[in-house]
């Protein structure tokens, strides 16, 4: 085998131009495939992170009845003991943020609106989604303050501003009447448009007192460093909690509609990727067809002096593996460097405004997920190997006399 590798390597560089053209074709294919994947997945990762960080979290702990009946009656008691059990479940858990969530009527002197009231720990919530960075007027409350921060869309509908009083009316735990007055300390331009038009943030202790649920929460969102660890972290928490009353959900289980939307939206990019691979395949085939026809005389001479067809096929196969491996490796390295240089792509003009109106930053981030590099590389490598079957079949059916005279 060492002899075959040496022969293959020498054959490659006997015609440097032909070899370099083939390698560059593979490099171009890998770079194009990775860039297309990175742009698509970067956008989806940003969307998922935005939706998940402001709603369910990547991993969430809640009462087993709450998902079917999201009522304050299905809250659970949260203390330091439970917090430590969650944090000790897996070293990849950064923090656990308790929340209490319900729907109430928000009112001013003349109008009411349905709102989502979210009681949070301001410090932990900011660690999770940098919520304080979206405050456009006033300030976000601190622990112990009895004030509210509301979405700008809701403030506009109720004609309220910083310093005004917001009335909240609803039902607390076990049917208790819940009503309270809160000074508005800040307005937030929430990045999720639906929440911007309906969200009211309260300090966790103030919300619990308002809802007659002291010490109780509706959920605990778990912060993890990487979305790819979601399932492993969720499994670890389940094993460590060992509580029949509490369940652990991952974000795909709580937000299946996002996955469905992504699957529908990915249909076109996947079709384009298939078309790209077809074009790449025909490009390879044209290069290899030319290369093979140029070497027919060489093959004929080698066979005529006694070289067995299977040995010649092995040498050619090793050439194929070497060319494909060099091209794929170079393509992965080059694509990674290009992604570093262009990440993120900043939008301008009408395109930027359209994205901002949807609640997102006017950028297109790149995904650096490891699997997109090696999977696209493997796909291109597989295409190259299939195309290179042509010269192998040509050798098998080669007429020595005709090839030697060509």
pLDDT above 90 (res 147): yes
199 shares a domain with 88: yes
The domain boundary residue, chosen from 223, 254, 285 = 254
180 shares a domain with 85: yes
Q: Which is higher by pLDDT, 4 or 157?
A: 157
Domain that holds residue 184: 56-254
Angle between helices 256-265 and 16-54 (to 10 degrees): 150
Q: Are 103 and 119 within 8 A, CB to CB?
A: no
Count Cβ neighbours within 10 Å for each residue of 287-314 and write b for 16 or more, e otherwise. bbeebbeebbeebbebbeeeeebeebbb
Would you place residue 211 in the very low, low, confident or very high pLDDT band (cuts 50, 70, 90)? Answer: very high
66 shares a domain with 15: no
354 shares a domain with 208: no
244 shares a domain with 102: yes
Measured torsion, CA atoms of residues 148, 150, 155, 157, in degrees rounded to the nearest 10: -120
320 shares a domain with 239: no
The domain boundary residue, chosen from 254, 274, 291 = 254
Q: Which is higher by pLDDT, 297 or 354?
A: 297
Distance from C-alpha of 199 to C-alpha of 120, rounded to nearest angstrom:
12
64 shares a domain with 17: no
From residue 41, alpha-carbon distances to 34, 223, 231, 261, 264 in Å are 10, 21, 19, 14, 14
The pLDDT tens digits of the residues spanning 110-138 come to 788 889 999 999 998 888 888 898 898 99
Q: Which of 304, 182, 238 is nearest to 62 (CA)?
A: 238
Mean pLDDT is lowest, of 182-196, 215-229, 299-313, for: 299-313
Q: Give phi and psi for 244, each to the nearest 5.
A: -70, -20
37 shares a domain with 84: no
Which neighbouring-strand residues pair with 261?
none
71 shares a domain with 17: no
291 shares a domain with 377: yes
Q: Are 199 and 207 within 8 A, CB to CB?
A: no
Predicted TM-score (pTM) of the model is: 0.70
| Average pLDDT of the segment spanning 212-230 | 87
334 shares a domain with 233: no
What string of DSSP letters covers 115-157?
Answer: EEEEEE-HHHHHHHH-GGGGEEEE----TT--EEEEEHHHHHH
Q: Are 53 and 223 within 8 A, CB to CB?
A: no
pLDDT above 90 (res 94): no
The domain boundary residue, chosen from 254, 270, 286 = 254
pLDDT at 16: 81
Distance from C-alpha of 331 to C-alpha of 336, rounded to nearest angstrom:
8
Distance from C-alpha of 357 to C-alpha of 240, rounded to nearest angstrom:
43
Mean pLDDT value across the chain? 82
Distance from C-alpha of 25 to C-alpha of 21, rounded to nearest angstrom:
6
N-to-C CA span, the chain = 30
Per the structure, the count of domains in the chain is: 2
242 shares a domain with 106: yes
pLDDT above 70 (res 350): no
């Amino acid at each position: 085998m060492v002899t075959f590798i040496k022969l293959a390597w020498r054959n490659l560089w006997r015609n440097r131009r032909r070899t370099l053209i083939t390698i560059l074709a593979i490099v171009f294919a890998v770079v194009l495939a990775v860039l297309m994947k990175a742009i698509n997945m970067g956008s989806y990762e940003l969307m998922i992170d935005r939706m998940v960080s402001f709603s369910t979290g990547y991993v969430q702990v809640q009462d087993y009845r709450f998902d079917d009946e999201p009522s304050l009656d299905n809250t659970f008691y949260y203390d330091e003991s439970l917090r430590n059990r969650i944090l000790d479940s897996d070293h990849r858990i950064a923090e656990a943020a308790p929340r209490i969530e319900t729907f109430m009527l928000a009112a001013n002197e003349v109008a009411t609106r349905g709102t989502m009231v979210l009681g949070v720990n301001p410090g932990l919530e900011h660690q999770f989604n940098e919520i304080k960075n979206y405050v456009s007027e006033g300030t976000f409350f601190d622990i112990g303050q009895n004030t509210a921060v509301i979405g700008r869309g809701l403030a506009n509908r109720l004609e309220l501003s910083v310093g005004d009083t917001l009335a909240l009316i609803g039902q607390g735990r076990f049917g208790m009447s819940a009503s309270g007055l809160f000074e508005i300390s800040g307005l937030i331009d929430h990045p999720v448009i639906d929440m911007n038009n309906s969200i009211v943030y309260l300090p966790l202790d103030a919300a619990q007192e308002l809802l007659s649920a002291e010490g109780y929460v509706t959920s605990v969102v778990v912060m993890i460093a990487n979305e790819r660890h979601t399932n492993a972290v969720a499994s670890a928490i389940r094993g460590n909690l060992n509580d029949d009353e509490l369940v652990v959900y991952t974000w795909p289980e709580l937000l299946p509609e996002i996955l469905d939307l992504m699957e529908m939206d990915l249909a076109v990019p996947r079709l384009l990727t298939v078309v790209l691979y077809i074009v790449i395949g025909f490009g390879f085939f044209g290069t290899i067809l030319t290369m093979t026809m140029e070497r027919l005389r060489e093959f004929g001479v080698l066979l005529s002096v006694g070289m067995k067809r299977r040995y010649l096929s092995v040498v050619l196969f090793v050439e194929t593996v070497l060319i494909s491996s060099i091209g794929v490796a170079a393509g992965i390295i080059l694509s990674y460097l290009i992604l570093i240089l262009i990440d993120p792509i900043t939008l301008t003009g009408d395109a930027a405004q359209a994205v901002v109106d949807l609640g997102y930053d006017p950028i297109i981030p790149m995904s650096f997920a490891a699997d997109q590099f090696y999977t696209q590389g493997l796909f291109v490598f597989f295409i190259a190997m299939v195309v290179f079957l042509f010269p192998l079949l040509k050798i098998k059916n080669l007429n020595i006399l005709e090839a030697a005279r060509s």
